[in-house]
């Protein structure tokens, strides 16, 4: 996942600004530093690029992400799927230790929603 970040941010802010997110309508894309205010009223120092899970999983394509992302699509998809698997195991463990019916917490984040 580090390589994905390196490739995207090496494009530079002049290129990435073409992929600027459109909050609150679309939270995916590039957010330059200094766009949001922190709790104390100062401008943030966070620069980030958010990928749509639908784009990563290939269920819906906006063709909005940089071409550099395309070579990492399979890697990102594996990461998303593995992450969901890990979280499901944690939630199943919590179900057991909280005395909940099996699958209670996992039902809050069903895999089918990813497709």
For 20-55, the pLDDT digits (tens) are 888 778 888 899 999 888 899 999 999 998 887 777
Residues 88-104: tens digit of each pLDDT: 999 999 999 999 999 99
What is the C-alpha to C-alpha distance for residues 66 and 16, in angstroms, rounded to an integer? 8
- pLDDT for res 62: 66
| Residue that the structure tokens 């906006």 belong to | 62
pTM for this prediction: 0.70
Q: Provide, rounded to the nearest whole percent, the portion of the chain with pLDDT above 90.
A: 39
**pLDDT exceeds cutoff 70 at 57:** yes
Q: Cα dist. 62→15, 65, 102, 115 in Å?
A: 18, 8, 37, 15
What is the C-alpha to C-alpha distance for residues 85 and 70, in angstroms, rounded to an integer? 23
Provide the token pair at 14.
């002049």
- Listed by start position, the domains of the chain span 2-114
| Contact present, 6 and 68 (Cβ < 8 Å) | no
**pLDDT exceeds cutoff 60 at 113:** no
Confidence of residue 2 (pLDDT cuts 50, 70, 90): confident
């Amino acid at each position: 996942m580090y390589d994905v970040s390196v490739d995207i941010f090496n494009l530079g802010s002049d290129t990435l600004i073409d992929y600027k997110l459109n909050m609150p309508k679309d939270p995916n894309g590039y957010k330059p530093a200094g766009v949001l205010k922190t709790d104390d009223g100062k401008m943030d120092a966070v620069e980030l690029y958010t990928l749509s899970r639908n784009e990563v999983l290939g269920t819906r394509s906006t063709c909005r992400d940089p071409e550099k992302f395309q070579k990492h699509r399979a890697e990102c998809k594996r990461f998303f799927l593995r992450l969901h698997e890990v979280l499901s195991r944690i939630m199943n463990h919590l179900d057991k230790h909280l005395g909940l019916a099996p699958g209670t917490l996992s039902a809050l984040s069903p895999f089918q929603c990813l497709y």
